[in-house]
């Protein structure tokens, strides 16, 4: 029996992920942010040509099984990387990124499965100033970006994708064999990326915090919150800091911009949520008390908006979806 599957990671720069001195390059139009990619990929090359993302890692694998054991298999794919257009006033210029060789570990096999691992990425199109501990103290260099994907094929026809490593920046989203968004890197750490030394091409990957993708409704709500009338207040939390406690009064809604929070009810952790998650709706619908404790698992940036920022009907739909997900139904 022959099984085939594929997966894709897409890496892009959201506006909330850039901080510090480099943000002025974006504000001046020298570089640009990216709009959130779609929920479903339908034209990867077209998006690349439109400069809609920074790079993609595409893996396609197949395996022949006999008696539940893999007897033959193969993998292909690699980096999809384009160029970046920058502007100074009315002038524009396009710079090509530099892909690096794809890295593939030997396939792993077991009873009824085979797993492939692929690293793909390259050097960004534009250099930027990076601080050094010694003279000359500043160096202009284009940093490296990458993701490491795993793709497991099972004899029963199932396939599973994992994000097992990635550069600390930019934002990394992962799409499954149906080209639907399924996983996200929970943290986009610009500061760590700017000082990055170890890379997979030097035989050392970077660990990555992975969270499940939020719902389509949450993505719609996040757009309304960030680009609606009144801008929400953006807060930063340290690792271990509590955003809200169960039982406390609450009259605001939260959009997680970066990082991971745990959801604790009655002393038990129900879930860990990442960027794009909308939180706090039940307090607005059910008497004004927080129904869970939210704690920063990593450093977190979160936008806080008043209750009237979102129509109540959206909050009802969001609460129903969250109940189903956290009950396992």
Q: What is the pLDDT of residues 57-69, one digit of tens each?
A: 999 999 999 988 9
Which of 157, 187, 212 delimits the end of a domain?
212
pLDDT of residue 140: 53
Which of 212, 234, 265 delimits the end of a domain?
212
Closest CA to 210 of 174, 239, 181, 251: 174
pLDDT digits (tens, 9 = 90+) for 91-134: 455 556 678 899 999 999 999 999 999 999 987 655 555 555 55
Are 61 and 4 in contact by the 8 Å Cβ rule? The answer is yes
Alpha-helical runs (H) found in the chain: 23-27, 44-49, 190-194, 216-227, 281-285, 312-327
Does 59 lie in the same domain as 205? yes
Output helix, strand, coil percentages for the chain, rounded to the nearest 5: 20, 45, 35
pLDDT digits (tens, 9 = 90+) for 162-218: 999 998 888 899 999 999 999 998 887 777 766 666 778 876 666 777 777 777 778
Does 27 lie in the same domain as 58? yes
Does 154 lie in the same domain as 34? yes
Closest CA to 112 of 162, 82, 152: 152
Does 232 lie in the same domain as 153? no
Does 296 lie in the same domain as 168? no
Does 155 lie in the same domain as 243? no
d(CA 55, CA 74): 23
In the 8-state DSSP scheme, what is residue 127? -
Residue 20: pLDDT over 70: no
pLDDT of residue 51: 82
d(CA 135, CA 266): 54
pLDDT of residue 329: 28
Does 132 lie in the same domain as 37? yes
Are 270 and 294 in contact by the 8 Å Cβ rule? The answer is no
pTM across the whole model: 0.75
Structural domain of residue 100, as residue ranges?
2-212
Which of 212, 241, 258 delimits the end of a domain?
212
Burial 257-271 (b: 16+ CB within 10 A, else e): bbbbbbbbeeeeebb
Residue 226 φ then ψ, to 5°: -85, -20
Spell out the SS3 assignment of 98-115: EECCCEECCCEEECCEEE
Rounded average pLDDT over 295-311: 88
């Amino acid at each position: 029996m022959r099984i085939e599957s594929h997966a894709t990671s897409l890496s892009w720069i959201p506006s909330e992920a850039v901080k510090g001195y480099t943000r002025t390059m974006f504000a001046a139009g020298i570089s640009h942010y990216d709009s959130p990619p779609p929920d479903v990929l339908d034209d990867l090359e077209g998006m690349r040509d439109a400069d809609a993302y920074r790079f993609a890692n595409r893996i396609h694998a197949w395996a022949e099984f006999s008696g539940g054991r893999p007897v033959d298999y193969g993998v292909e794919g690699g980096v999809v990387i384009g160029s970046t257009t920058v502007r100074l006033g009315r002038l524009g210029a396009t710079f090509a990124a530099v892909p690096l060789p794809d890295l593939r570990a030997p396939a792993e096999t077991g009873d009824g499965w085979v797993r492939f691992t692929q690293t793909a990425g390259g050097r960004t199109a534009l250099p930027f100033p990076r601080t050094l501990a010694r003279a000359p103290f500043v160096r202009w260099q284009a940093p490296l970006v990458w993701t490491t994907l795993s793709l497991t094929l099972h004899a029963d026809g199932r396939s599973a994708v994992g994000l097992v490593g990635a550069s600390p920046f930019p934002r990394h989203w992962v799409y499954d064999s149906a080209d639907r968004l399924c996983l996200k890197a929970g943290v986009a750490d610009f500061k760590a990326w700017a000082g990055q030394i170890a890379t997979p091409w030097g035989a050392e990957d970077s660990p990555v915090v992975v969270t499940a993708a939020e719902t389509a409704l949450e993505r719609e709500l996040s757009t309304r919150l960030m680009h609606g009338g009144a801008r929400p207040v953006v807060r930063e939390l340290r690792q271990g800091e509590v955003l809200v406690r169960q039982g406390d009064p609450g009259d605001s809604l939260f959009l997680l911009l970066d990082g991971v929070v745990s959801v604790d009810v009655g002393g038990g952790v129900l879930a860990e949520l990442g960027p794009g998650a909308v939180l706090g709706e039940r307090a607005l619908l059910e008497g004004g008390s927080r129904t869970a404790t939210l704690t920063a698992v990593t450093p977190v940036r979160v936008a806080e908006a008043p209750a009237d920022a979102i129509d109540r009907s959206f909050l009802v739909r969001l609460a129903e979806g969250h109940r189903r997900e956290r009950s396992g139904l």
